[in-house]
Each structure stands twice: as C-alpha cells, then as structure tokens.
A = this chain, B = another copy of it.
C-alpha cells in the first residue's frame, strides 16, 4: 500500500482498475493515457498524474502495460488484509456489491446485511441478512470495519452512532443526513438526491444546452 495518496487519486485508481478489467487486454495488452481517460471521460493529465503518484510508467510508444497496471493499482490501494463490510438497509445493493468484491477485490468482503423491517431472514452468496436488532452483536463478532448506511433519514444518526459503537471505522453514507460521528471515523457521502436533481436539470424539456 502507498500511503498518503490524495482521496481523488484513490477513487480514480479504483475506476481505472475496473475499466481495465473489462478491457480486452488479451488482444490489446497496452493502453495510452488518453484512451483510458476517454473511457472514463476525464482529463488525460489526471491519468498521468495519478499513475506517476504510484510510480507507474508506460512505454512512450506502446502506452501502459494493462495487466501490470491492474496489479500495481492493487499494490497501491488495496489493504494487505481482508476488510469486512456490512450493509445496513438496502439489501439488494449489498448483493450486487458482494458479487463484485467476491470476484475481483479479495481485500473487501461483504459479511452481513441488516434490514430494518421485519421481513424473514435471507441469504445471498455467503452473505446473511439479519434483523437490525442483531447489528451490534454481528458487527462486533465479525470485526466489521466498513458499513454502508442506507436507512430512512429519521433513523440515520441513531443507527450511525450504534455502528460506530460497534467498532466500525468508515461509513459510506447513502442517507441525506449529515452524520454526527467522531472525527476519527471516515465518512463518504454518496448523495443520490443531489445527483437526481442534477439529472433532472439537464434532462428537462425547458433546458437549452449552451452554444
């Protein structure tokens, strides 16, 4: 792992890896920064700077070796041990993510989902879905470090507090609520409503594109 990478670089490195894993690298083992940037609709200068930060260099004519790059990104951002993840609310999404991580990134493992209604317990892959009453017990027993929070607004802070008390260090917050947690807890806000309102702005019939 390379320490002190900028947050946006870490996020983009994760994106590069995902795009490259879907890229036909058996036929084209090399890729240029501008091609990779184009696939992600970002600036090629970002790609070059991010890869410089992990000391990855390409061939000036052929570009970057894709297989090597995938491996080096893993070396740079993946944890050396397996970090456990739980989903609180939003069971369906937990399943889709569990599927990806179980196949690709073996350093993140979804170990539990929790539902806040009273539907019967279910299981998907290896992931059990528990009632939220069991949350404290399961998070502690499994030593979960990361939780995804997707519960109704009115419960958000109460449940976030319980998650932190159970030892979780990072929260991916899908709610629209600003979470009041200690500074040592890393929160990533993933704001669906702002994205929807942005989409509405650019798709509505009154909108006239520039130019």
> What is the interface of chain A, defined by CB distance below 8 A to chain B?
1, 3-5, 7, 10-12, 14-15, 18-19, 22, 39-40, 77-81, 83, 85, 89-93, 96-97, 99-101, 105, 107-108, 145-146, 148, 150-153, 169-172, 174-178, 186, 188, 190-210
Contact = CB atoms under 8 A, between A and B. Distances in A.
B10 A193 contact: no
B201 A10 contact: yes
A198 B172 CA distance: 10
B3 A208 contact: yes
Q: How many copies does the complex hold?
A: 2
25 contacts: A3-B207, A7-B198, A7-B202, A11-B191, A12-B194, A14-B193, A14-B194, A14-B198, A15-B191, A15-B194, A19-B178, A22-B177, A79-B205, A83-B203, A93-B192, A97-B192, A99-B152, A100-B153, A108-B196, A145-B204, A146-B203, A148-B196, A169-B203, A186-B203, A190-B192
Nearest to A96: B152
A24 to B, nearest CB: 13
Contact of A11 (B92, B99, B198): B198
Contacts of A201: 1, 5, 10, 77, 79
Given A19-B178, A78-B200, 4 more contacts: A10-B197, A11-B194, A107-B200, A145-B203
Contacts of A5: 201
